[in-house]
Chains A and B, each alone.
Chain A
Amino acid sequence: MAEKASPSSNSISLKTVDGKIFKVSPAIANQMLTIQPLIKDSDSSTIISLPDVAAFHLTKIIEYLEGKPAAAPSAVDAFEAQFVKDLSPEELKGLLIAVGYLKVNGLVDLMANTVAKLIENKSVEYVRKFFGVVNDFTPAEEAKCRQEHAWAFDGVDED
């Protein structure tokens, strides 16, 4: 089953938005669900372009997929904690976009959880700023939304 083909003929080339080309094994590439269908039709000359994914993010994604322990859940937890520990909020956001676009196995969950911790217990304005969300409600519409779920806003500090 395991053919020992030379890595260059068997690997998949991925091009990031900042122009770097990465060669990854099919086993790694297949865990990025978005590009999975493209892998089947590709040969060694194919280069798959990844919008929304910068070289830094792809490096981290590959690091995750290659490094994640296969066995014990506790080992996975420790590995994941270490993986997100040194990421700045900016890096996290970029990675969230990249991971969300590529639909990377396991990483979507980890990124969502990590981002949730950053916005938990924060004000609406803080979260808007965090995500770069522009409030497109008119004051009347926003008031109506608050009214609809008034209980959830009851007694919440505005900052």
Chain B
Amino acid sequence: MFNPKRRLEKRSKVELEMGSDEIPDLTKKVPANVLSHILTFLPLDEAIRSGILSKKWKDLWRNTTHIELNEKKLIKPLSQLLISRKFVPTKDVTKGANRYALLVYRIMFHHYGDLPSFRILHLWKSLLLGEVQSWVEYVLKTREGVQKLSLECELDNGEMGEWFLFKDDIPKLNFSKGIFQSLGSLEMINYNINCSNAFVGCKNLKTLKLEKINLADRIINDILNNCVVL
């Protein structure tokens, strides 16, 4: 009879006999990568809070394979601050905006290991401050192996509606040359884009999902020419 882990079996038998009155520490039996996997389904601030459960949990969120930055899902004080912030570009950036932008860098800095999947869901005001661009650039430049990137711009309360994409004073999404080249999958929702350069060298991009996008014909041609396996 083949028994890969005899010792383990003994221990679990003991626990089985103990009955369920005394809850055994589940997390001793569940592999760390599965626990990290659970955290990917939680809002980011909640995943980070799990670090105070015990010493074992302290660093689990830092190894998650997927991070979603979602301004609306963050804890209340912060999300309210973000929703209500003024959007006079650059000169008068409110304290809250600054705090959040810095926070994103801190979070990314504390996360280690590979990050195959990354998603940003943000309010349109982040476009005015250029935050989306800089976060994406930061993540793609500091991490190897980002496979999947998803960006979505959210309008609050139907403000502007479909005209949003055609407003001149909303900056177009633009990235530096070749920034997307490691990606296998890219999704962009609700943007005015002007970034054919970013697609230079996209040899692996198999999935490109563009939804509610305003872009020139020339740009879509450039994208298709660069993405050879699309």
Q: Which residues of A contact B (CB under 8 A)?
A: 15, 17-18, 38, 42, 46-49, 51-52, 54, 90, 93, 96-97, 99-101, 108-109, 111-113, 115-117, 119-121, 124, 127-129, 131-137, 142, 145-146, 149, 151-156
B55 to chain A, nearest CB (A): 5
Chain B residues positioned under 8 Å from A153 (CB to CB): 49
Cβ contact within 8 Å between A131 and B49: no
Q: Which residues on B sit within 8 Å (CB–CB) of A108?
A: 34, 37
What is the CA–CA distance of A49 and B4 in the complex, to the nearest angstrom? 7
Please tell me if the beta carbons of B54 and A132 are within 8 angstroms of each other in the complex.
no
User: Which of the segments B38-46, B162-170, B209-217 contacts the partner chain?
Assistant: B38-46
Residue in B8, B26, B77, B99 whose beta carbon sits within 8 Å of that of A131 in the complex = B26
Q: Which of the residues B1, B9, B29, B77 comes within 8 Å of A155, measured between beta carbons?
A: B77
Given contact pairs A47-B2, A101-B31, enumerate 18 new A-B contacts (beta carbons under 8 Å). A17-B9, A18-B16, A49-B1, A49-B3, A51-B9, A54-B16, A97-B26, A101-B29, A108-B37, A112-B34, A116-B38, A120-B43, A132-B24, A132-B27, A133-B27, A133-B54, A137-B52, A155-B77
| Option from A54, A116, A136, A152 in Cβ contact (under 8 Å) with B41 | A116
**Pairwise interchain contact A121-B46, C-beta atoms closer than 8 A:** yes
Residue of B nearest to A118 (CB): B38
Given A18-B16, A49-B9, A132 contacting B26 (CB threshold 8 A) = yes
Name, among A54, A129, A152, the residue most crowded by chain B CB atoms within 10 Å (CB to CB): A152
- The A-contacting residues of B in range 12-63, CB under 8 angstroms, are 12-13, 16, 20, 23-27, 29-31, 34, 37-43, 45-46, 48-58
Q: Which residues 65-99 in B have Cβ within 8 Å of A in the complex? A: 75-78, 99
Interface residues of B, Cβ cutoff 8 Å to A: 1-5, 8-9, 11-13, 16, 20, 23-27, 29-31, 34, 37-43, 45-46, 48-58, 75-78, 99, 103, 110
Instruction: With both chains docked as a complex, state the minimum distance between the C-beta of A66 and any C-beta of chain B, in angstroms.
Output: 23
Interface of B is mostly: helix
Bound CA–CA A153/B4 (angstroms): 43
User: Which residue of A has the minimal Cβ distance to B30?
Assistant: A100
Q: Are B41 and A155 in contact (CB under 8 A)?
A: no
A129 CA to B23 CA in the complex, in Å? 8
CB-CB under 8 A for A154 and B75, given A112-B34, A133-B27 = yes
Contact in complex: B45, A51 (CB < 8 Å): no
Q: Which 10 A-B pairs have the closest CB atoms?
A: A116-B41, A132-B23, A51-B9, A51-B8, A100-B34, A155-B77, A112-B37, A152-B45, A112-B38, A49-B3
